[in-house]
Structure 1
Amino acid sequence: MNGSTAAVVMDGTGVKAVLFDLDNTLIETSRAGAEAIRQTSELLKSTLSLDDSTISIISDKFKQKLFQESFEPLAGRSIDEVRVGHWEESIQEAVGSCSSPSLAAQCYNLWKNSRLQALHLSPEICDLLRQLRRRYKLLLLTNGETQTQREKVEAVGCEEFFDAIVIGGEHVEQKPYVSIFTLCFNMLEVKAKDCIMVGDSLDTDIQGGVNSGVRATVWISRAGGAVPDGSVRPDYTIPTVLDLPVILDQLN
């Protein structure tokens, strides 16, 4: 665990609330996504009789379209329709055509359902959240499109662990904007200096925590990597959220 407490506000009072990110902080979304891509690739392989290289190109194109998604209003289209379109475009761009109108929808449904099935809160993290909630107010603050993030929350059954859940897509601004953090503080009836922000993204979680003036920011970096030059610097870096109690003990 790395800690740099010089920038942490210490005023004699303890932490009252913890704000958690969801994806790749409490649940392993990247691993679930990789499993979903694997299963969908098998479907494409058996349906289109393509070589592994072409299947990889289709999958990479789909992942790139996901990455480039805007969370702006979808012009009357549901997120499901948008992502079926991602698969259809990815197949067409790689092979020049889509073998049947329903193939893209099959790919999307398999990818979506297998990803949700692979998501879970580990027993250890469930125990951690139960322990923390005895002492702190807990809030889940996740960026993303509303339906997608709500489906994840439901799939992993995490509502019981939090005093409030805030989905970025339901608001005008998402992390790292101060407005959504202010909303969270108001919901919990705490001040920024009473809270810590825990998440895996330097650009959204840590930057947002710094922007909004939380007591401390905690970066989840499974690889234990150094903070890139020019990036916001977290107050603490840990490889897993399970190490959070040690940091809370220091702050209190």
Structure 2
Amino acid sequence: MGLHRVRAVFLDLDNTLVDTAEATRRAMLEVTKLLKSKYQFKEGEAQIISEKVQIKFSQECYRESKMSITNLRISHWEEAIQETREETAVQELAKECYFLWKSTRLQHITLSEDIKNMLIELRKEIPLLLLTNGDTQTQREKIEACDCQPYFDAIVVGGEQEEEKPAPSIFYYCCDLLGVQPGDCVMVGDTLETDIQGGLNAGFKATVWINKNGIVPQKESPVPHYVVSSVLELPAILKAIDYMPILSA
């Protein structure tokens, strides 16, 4: 490939390398089945609980919580069940729902063979770093589940740092780990507000947005250098960056 100008590539984990959204969908389906078959919840009730939990996850502020991530997420299930059925003694049911959700989701957090092969080939010529936001326990469990450690020179979890993406500090920390300059790096991820904005904030050479669903960004959204529908398009993008002509001043 001859990657002489790009010195390192940073990749996001969730919905970039692994399909976390699909894993979460499957996990929610299993919990819905449990609620209906074992506890006689109506279809509508089980669906409402699932939707409420997903909203609570999306609004989660794990850094501000005094609970462990396990207890915090059990509380999401407990609240969702109580709000739907107005029952009080549901903690054990909430625990059962959470652990079923978690174990099912982790079973489906996998790296495809195509992505593994791509990472192997890229790493022959350029250092790769995994940079993922989130609670330490949660993200480390996903990393272990998909067994992605062998494909990267370094792995950095936002929950283990003072700041997460899009703060420049975590990007500079990653650059120091690899001994590279921000202007020689490429950031690849599916989220404009964290992955792309973070790469821009840190002054990276390029940012690559994985837009699987053809989302039309809002006008105020950060603008990536490249947009692709799959991370498997990354080698071609790196070639384009590598051989881009240098303009004279």
Which residue is equivalent to 2:199? 209
| Aligned positions, number | 240
Which position in structure 2 is the counterpart of 1:78? 68
Q: Deviations over 1:15-47 (max 9, x none)?
A: 010000000000000000000000001111123
Match of 1:90 in 2: 80
Aligned to 1:169: 159
Task: Compare relative contact order (CA 8 Å, sep 6+) and give the higher one, 1 or 2.
Answer: 1
* Superposition deviation, residue 200 in structure 1: 0.1
Following TM superposition, by how much is the alpha carbon of 1:230 offset from its aligned partner in structure 2, in angstroms?
1.1
Residue 44, structure 1, aligned to residue 44, structure 2 = no
Q: Which moved more, 1:217-226 or 1:122-131?
A: 217-226
The percentage of aligned residue pairs carrying the same residue is: 47
Letter in 2 for 1:27: V
Secondary structure at 1:14 match in 2: coil
Q: SS where residue 135 of structure 1 aligns?
A: coil
Q: Of 48, 51, 65, which aligns to 1:57?
A: 48
User: How far is 1:73 from its partner?
Assistant: 4.7
Gaps of 5+ in 1: 1-12
> Does the 8 Å CA contact 1:224/1:238 hold for their aligned counterparts?
no
> Could you say which residue in structure 2 is the equivalent of 1:31?
22
CA distance in 2, matches of 1:101, 1:144: 25
Q: Which runs of 5+ in 2 are unaligned?
A: 243-249
Secondary structure, aligned partner of 1:102? helix
8 A Cα contact 1:48 1:99, kept in partner? no
Offset at residue 52 of structure 1 (A): 1.3
Aligned to 1:224: 214
Q: Which residues in structure 2 correspond to 1:2-151 (within 5 Å)?
A: 14-75=5-66, 77-97=67-87, 100-151=90-141
Q: What TM-score does the superposition give when structure 2 sets the normalisation length?
A: 0.93
Choose 188-197 or 100-109, whichever is displaced more.
Answer: 100-109
Task: Report the AA paired with residue 133 of structure 1.
Answer: R
Q: What RMSD in Å do the two structures reach over aligned CA positions?
A: 1.3
Q: Which amino acid aligns with 2:37?
A: S
Deviation at 1:74, TM superposition (A): 3.1
| Contact 2:81-2:90 at 8 Å conserved across structures | no
Name the CA distance, whole Å, in 1 between partners of 2:28 and 2:127.
Answer: 36
- Verify: 1:182 aligned to 2:175, yes or no: no
SS in structure 2 of the partner of residue 48 of structure 1? coil
Measured in 1, the distance between the counterparts of 2:115 and 2:141 equals 19
Alignment partners' CA distance in 2, 1:71 and 1:88: 17
2:142 to 152, 156, 160: 152
Q: 1:196 — aligned with what?
A: 186
CA distance in 1, matches of 2:84, 2:92: 17
TM-score, with structure 1 as normaliser: 0.92
Provide, for residues 117-143 of structure 1, a one-character-per-residue CA deviation record: whole Å limited to 9, x for no partner. Answer: 011000000000000000111000000
